[in-house]
Amino acid sequence: EASFFGKVCIDLYSRNKVATVTKHIPGHGMANKDSHFATPIINENKKNLIKKDFFPFIKKKSFFAMTAHAVYKVYDNNVATHSETVIKKVIRKHIKFKGILISDDISMKSLKLNLESNALKALQAGCNLVLHCNGNLREMNRLSKVIPKINKFTQLKTSQFYKFLG
């Protein structure tokens, strides 16, 4: 079972001072497309989402989690990364994730806005950090001009992470 093995891995890594990143929260199991290339749209009811996709993430003690660039139609028309509803109601409240929430790569094809808008919308929805992975220095420079400083919550959680590392 994914939930059992996830807990075992998180606990084992934690004992050895290795932080984990659970992904892709709140779950990618029922996605029918690869979010690197297209936007997965999941038309499933809440009961099945909770039972199948969300369950493996519930109450896991990971310092970090990475969002899914998937649309959960029963909650919102935005991908989870851009959805304040999914982040607040599902990830933070139902799943009870208390750590640093990182967006998946904001340059992936599943996101339809320009790079800066993708980043800002992820932060406004509730991501604490945005991930940009394609190595394009011009894009990184553009992002550095619009991304705000990290908030107090992210500073606190980062401090706790450094203490964890010893």
Q: Please give the Cα distance from 67 to 7 (Å, whole number).
A: 18
Kindly compute the dihedral angle of the four CA atoms of residues 148, 150, 151, 155, in this order, to the nearest 10 degrees: -170
Q: Is 104 among the catalytic positions? A: yes
| Strand positions, DSSP E, 6-162 | 21-25, 41-42, 64-67, 71-72, 100-105, 129-131
Q: Is 28 among the catalytic positions? A: no
125 closest CA partner among 158, 93, 100, 103: 103
Per-residue pLDDT, 90:
98
Q: Which of 53, 76, 104, 105 is catalytic?
A: 104
Structure confidence at residue 1 as a pLDDT band (50, 70, 90) = low
> What is the tens place of the pLDDT at every residue in 58-93?
989 899 999 999 999 999 999 999 999 999 999 999
